[in-house]
């Protein structure tokens, strides 16, 4: 038996990386019976001779969207312009990564088109203050590219984010041999066109880079109570509010609201939190 890493899925089969080669395998029939669904990124045991998947190792973490497992970092690629920067969408992605136990990193693309340098400075400092690494980058000038390469070298990472932000373009610059198809930005709707249709891992510098489909909206698979703990920067206040079930919106004695009033936490991000909270239900309102 041999262990490998699932790189992608191909017509019901799984491409598994074995170090010196890749092999297409099918899972044993018991997988379907037990409703076991392998994910791209899974470490699996295979029978090379029979070309079948025997088992899946326990996952370090996994994401529902994109469907992927065992990441060292989730790299959120967010454009500064065309499409316009959205702290709301970024905070959603960060909440999803925190919820999934995936360490986040932010790449801000189209740096050369960003005219409001003060706004850029505030964006970077806002997320740096939460302990999140932020890398501004320009495809045209190459600024920031080497810093991104160093940050991901030797790690298993996934580029994810809004359509048209430049994920595939960045991957191609990191290694031109990847030759990922690139979408175009549509100014009429302020978003890009989908090009990447699959989740696929690409071996790179003793690690792996995953390209994932982009999207302009994101539904969070959690309750309000969970959002109140995984929203970026809020975990350090767990247990400090007056009420243990504080949702940081209408309750008194809330340390989050206090931190926002004192400028410790961003008012813009807090407003995002309130809006995102409106989109999801609480545990007590769930339907069985």
Q: And the tokens for 158?
A: 């996934």
The burial class, CB within 10 Å (0-12 / 13-18 / 19+), for 62 is: middle
Instruction: Walk me through the domains of the chain, giving residue ranges and CATH numbers.
Output: 2-57 (2.40.50.140), 63-211 (3.40.50.300), 224-285 (1.10.40.50)
Confidence (pTM): 0.90
The Cα–Cα gap between 255 and 260 comes to 9
**Which runs of E-coded beta strand occur in 226-278?**
none
* pLDDT one-digit tens code per residue, 218-263: 899 999 999 999 999 999 999 999 999 999 999 999 999 999 999 9
* Other Cβ atoms within 10 Å of 185 Cβ, number: 18
Q: Give the DSSP letter of residue 166.
A: S
More confident residue, 29 or 197: 29
Q: Is the pLDDT of residue 264 over 90?
A: yes
The band of 192, judged by pLDDT with boundaries at 50, 70 and 90, is: very low
- 252 burial level (CB within 10 Å; 0-12, 13-18, 19+): exposed
Q: Distances in Å between the alpha carbon of 127 and those of 49, 72, 120, 171, 191?
A: 49, 19, 11, 23, 23
193 vs 228, residue with greater confidence: 228
Residue 186 buriedness (CB in 10 A; 0-12 / 13-18 / 19+)? middle
pLDDT value of position 158: 96
Asked whether residue 185 carries a pLDDT value surpassing 50, the answer given is no
3-state secondary structure of 51: coil
**What is the pLDDT, as a whole number, of residue 287?**
57
Summary count for the chain: helices (H), strands (E): 8, 15
Whether pLDDT at 91 is above 70: yes
Model pLDDT for residues 141-166, shown as the tens digit of each residue: 999 999 999 999 999 999 998 888 88
Report whether pLDDT(175) > 80: yes
CA separation for the pair 242, 280 (Å, rounded): 23
Q: Identify the pLDDT of residue 181.
A: 67
pLDDT at res. 168? 86
Give the relative orientation of helices 87-99 and 267-279 as an angle to the nearest 10 degrees: 70
CA distance 79 to 111: 8
What pLDDT score does 1 carry?
81
pLDDT tens for residues 14-73? 999 998 899 999 998 889 888 899 999 999 999 999 999 999 999 999 998 889 999 999
Each residue's pLDDT tens digit, 114-138: 999 999 999 999 999 999 999 999 9
To which H or E segment does residue 11 belong? none
């Amino acid at each position: 038996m041999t262990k490998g890493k699932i790189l992608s899925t191909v017509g019901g089969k799984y491409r598994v990386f074995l170090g010196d080669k890749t092999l297409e395998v099918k899972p044993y029939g018991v997988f379907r019976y037990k409703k076991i669904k392998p994910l791209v990124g899974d470490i699996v045991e295979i029978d090379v001779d029979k070309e079948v998947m025997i088992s899946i190792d326990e996952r370090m973490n996994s994401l529902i969207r994109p469907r992927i497992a065992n990441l060292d970092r989730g790299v959120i690629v967010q454009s500064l312009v065309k499409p316009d920067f959205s702290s709301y969408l970024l905070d959603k992605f960060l909440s999803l990564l925190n919820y999934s136990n995936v360490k986040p990193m932010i790449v801000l693309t189209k740096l050369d088109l960003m005219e409001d340098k003060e706004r850029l400075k505030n964006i970077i400092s806002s997320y740096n203050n939460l302990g999140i690494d932020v890398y501004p980058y320009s495809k045209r000038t190459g600024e920031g590219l080497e810093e991104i390469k160093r940050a991901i070298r030797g790690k298993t990472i996934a580029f994810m984010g809004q359509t048209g932000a430049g994920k595939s373009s960045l991957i191609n610059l990191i290694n031109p041999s990847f030759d990922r198809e690139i979408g175009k930005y549509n100014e009429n709707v302020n978003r890009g066109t989908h090009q990447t249709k699959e989740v696929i891992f690409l071996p790179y510098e003793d690690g792996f880079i995953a390209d994932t489909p982009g999207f302009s909206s994101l539904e969070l698979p959690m309750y309000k109570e969970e959002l109140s703990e995984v929203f970026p920067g809020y975990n350090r206040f767990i247990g400090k509010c007056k009420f243990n079930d504080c949702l940081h919106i209408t309750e008194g004695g809330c340390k989050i609201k206090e931190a926002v009033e004192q400028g410790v936490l961003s008012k813009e991000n807090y407003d995002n939190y309130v809006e995102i909270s409106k989109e999801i239900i609480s545990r007590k309102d769930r339907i069985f």
